[in-house]
């Protein structure tokens, strides 16, 4: 469904992505991990064209992201994205946050958008918070709203950019639970995260990145049992110490 | 001051009210036009297209370096020469005010826009909204909320600055008061009245701004 072929990217003369290739099948859950600054976030932002890249090709259901003729707004509307810092719109109520793109991108009616929004809020357990402002919600609740907002466009795949990194520890699970649920339902997901427990339980495959390159691309079990590269071994020993 | 005559003021009220209407209209046009121009300039200053950015930057720097009086003179005396017929004091003043205030509002709006986190646009783009939609639906509403107090203070400034049209003889509130004062030899009453009216309006408005600022902060 999503293919990356020899993707490279530079900021000025600094190379941030180095010849990255992989394929993500429909229904697959792929966790991207690696040390900070290794290019994980940059890589998934290339998939929906939020970050431009200079070399290689990325296609989503056959549509080339880097092609100038591709309508990026149209493409992005089909791929949901969840950010580390939630990025709910602070000037709108929770339900309006979820309706905005439905109204202006999918051109759904006010009523249809609201119904869909309420249905999704129910699903993430926040139906009663519909008319509140985002600032009055906890971090975990805000991130669940952000997930509902992305799902409202009925995406074919979801990208998660460190969705729990900005959360207090006691709120991490409520977000991971929603994501696990989503994975079970067969959503195609690419998740940048340091939550190795989540990766182990939910991911089909793990991409390990270092210095802009995909160093390892393995089935989850084999990645955790016998990582092939020394860098992955070192990373895992650091992150799994506790 | 011993013979301060309130009767003079009462008799002058119809003419003063006419002047006040000119003042209020100028203020209104200055604010609305200034904000509209300010938005356009602010977007140009944030544009990816270098010539637009340079032009808007130069415009803002230039206009903010010129006295407003000069601009009013300019439009009153030089534009008629350029277009071949008189433009009328009111239109000259309106154009001068809009061009001048646009530069100031631009800077206020720009700082408001820059205050909105970059991630907000990212989120909008990721959901399929276009750059323009992100600006209109996500960035500007947040920016306006943050800059409202500063905008209102600037609007009070516009109101006060309108008295500068005295120099081209446009009959605003101050000019009307001055004419009556000169005619009836009652300048004291008139100048005191002008000061009181300006003070009351501006003071009340700035109190309202303070109140609003406290409500936004909470």
**Per-residue pLDDT reduced to its tens digit, B125-172:** 999 999 999 999 999 899 988 888 899 999 999 999 999 988 888 889
A37 touches chain B (CB under 8 A): no
Q: Does the CA dihedral B146-B147-B152-B153 come out positive or negative?
A: positive
Beta-carbon separation of A87 and B123 below 8 A: yes
Averaged pLDDT for residues A145-153: 96
For residue A215, what are its two tokens? 């160093």
CB A7 within 8 A of CB A49: no
Q: Give the pLDDT score at B218.
A: 63
CB A102 within 8 A of CB A152: yes
Calculate mean pLDDT across residues A14-38: 94
pLDDT confidence of residue B2:
58
Torsion of CA B56, B59, B62, B68, to 10 degrees: -130
Q: What are the residue boundaries of the structural domains of chain B, listed by start?
A: 6-217
Average pLDDT value for residue range B34-61: 92
Reported confidence tier of residue B9, pLDDT bands at 50, 70, 90: confident
Do A151 and A185 form a contact (C-beta atoms < 8 A)? no
Average pLDDT on A203-227 reads 93
- Using CA coordinates, name the residue in chain A closest to B137: A100
CB contact under 8 A, A87 and B119: yes
Comparing A195-204, B57-66, B119-128, B163-172, the range with the smallest average pLDDT is B163-172
| Degrees, nearest 5: CA angle A88-A186-A98 | 20
* Nearest-by-Cβ selection for B126 from A74, A76, A91: A76
| Axis-axis angle for helices A169-184, A139-151 (nearest 10) | 20
The C-alpha atoms of residue B115 and residue B139 are separated, in whole angstroms, by: 9
Q: Is A90 on the interface with B (CB under 8 A)?
A: yes
Q: Judge whether A104 is closer than 8 Å to chain B, CB to CB.
A: yes
Lowest mean pLDDT among A138-142, B56-60, B168-172: B168-172
pLDDT band at residue B215 under the 50/70/90 scheme: confident
Distance (Å, whole) CA B176 – CA A72: 59
Over residues A46-105, the pLDDT tens digits come to: 999 999 999 999 999 999 998 989 999 999 999 999 999 999 999 999 999 999 999 999
Q: What does DSSP assign to residue B94? A: H
Across the range B198-217, mean pLDDT stands at 88
Residue B110 contacts residue B47 (beta carbons within 8 Å) = no
pLDDT at B111 over 80: yes
Tell me whether residues A73 and B130 touch, CB distance under 8 A: yes
Dist CA B148 CA A47 (whole Å) = 38
Q: Which residue of B has its CA nearest to A102?
A: B127
Mean pLDDT of B94-119: 92
Dist CA A180 CA A186 (whole Å) = 10
CA distances to B4, B19, B166, B169 from B188, rounded to whole Å, are 8, 18, 18, 20
> Which pLDDT belongs to residue A155?
96
Residues of A in contact with B133 (CB under 8 A): 104
B126–A81 C-beta distance less than 8 A: yes
Q: For residue A210, how far is the Cα from the chain centroid?
A: 19
Superfamily of domain B6-217: MetI-like (1.10.3720.10)
Kindly indicate the confidence band of residue B4, based on its pLDDT and cuts at 50, 70 and 90: confident
- pTM of the entire predicted model: 0.81
């Amino acid at each position: 469904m999503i293919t990356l072929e020899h993707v490279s990217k530079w900021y000025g003369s600094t190379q941030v992505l180095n010849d990255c290739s992989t394929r993500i099948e429909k229904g697959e859950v792929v966790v991207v991990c690696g040390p900070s600054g290794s290019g994980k976030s940059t890589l998934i932002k290339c998939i929906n064209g939020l970050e431009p890249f200079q070399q290689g090709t990325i296609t989503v259901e056959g549509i080339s992201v880097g092609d100038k003729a591709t309508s990026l707004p149209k493409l992005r509307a089909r791929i949901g994205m969840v950010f580390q810092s939630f990025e709910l719109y602070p000037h709108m109520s929770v339900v309006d946050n979820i309706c905005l793109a439905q109204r202006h991108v999918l051109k759904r009616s006010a009523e249809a958008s609201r119904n869909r929004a309420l249905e999704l809020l129910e699903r993430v357990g926040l139906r009663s918070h519909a008319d509140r402002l985002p600032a009055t919600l906890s971090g975990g609740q805000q991130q669940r709203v952000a997930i509902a907002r992305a799902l409202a466009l009925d995406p074919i795949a979801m990208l998660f950019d460190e969705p729990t990194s900005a959360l207090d520890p006691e709120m991490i699970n409520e977000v991971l639970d929603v994501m696990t649920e989503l994975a079970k339902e067969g959503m195609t997901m690419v998740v940048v995260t340091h939550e190795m427990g989540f990766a182990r339980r939910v991911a089909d495959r793990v991409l390990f990145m270092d210095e802009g390159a995909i160093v390892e691309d393995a089935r989850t079990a084999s990645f955790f049992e016998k990582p092939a590269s020394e860098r992955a071994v070192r990373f895992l020993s650091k992150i799994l110490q506790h | 001051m011993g013979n301060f005559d309130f009767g003079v003021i009462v008799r002058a009220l119809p003419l003063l009210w006419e002047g006040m209407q000119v003042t209020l209209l100028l203020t209104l046009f200055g604010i609305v036009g200034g904000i509209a121009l300010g938005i356009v300039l602010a977007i140009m200053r944030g544009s990816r297209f270098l010539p637009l950015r340079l032009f808007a930057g130069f415009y803002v720097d230039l206009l903010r370096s010129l006295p407003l009086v000069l601009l009013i003179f300019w439009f009153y005396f030089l534009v008629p020469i350029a277009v071949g017929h008189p433009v009328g004091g009111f239109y000259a003043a309106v154009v001068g005010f809009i061009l001048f205030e646009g530069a100031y509002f631009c800077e206020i709006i720009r700082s408001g826009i820059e205050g909105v986190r970059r991630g907000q646009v990212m989120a909008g783009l990721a959901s399929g909204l276009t750059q323009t939609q992100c600006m209109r639906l996500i960035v500007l509403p947040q920016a306006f909320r943050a800059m409202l107090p500063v905008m209102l203070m600037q609007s009070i400034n516009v109101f006060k600055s309108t008295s500068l049209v005295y120099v081209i003889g446009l009959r605003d509130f101050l000019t009307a008061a001055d004419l009556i004062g000169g005619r009836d030899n009652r300048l004291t009453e008139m100048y005191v009245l002008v000061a009181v009216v300006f003070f009351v309006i501006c003071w009340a408005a700035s109190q309202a701004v303070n109140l609003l600022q406290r409500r936004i902060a909470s």
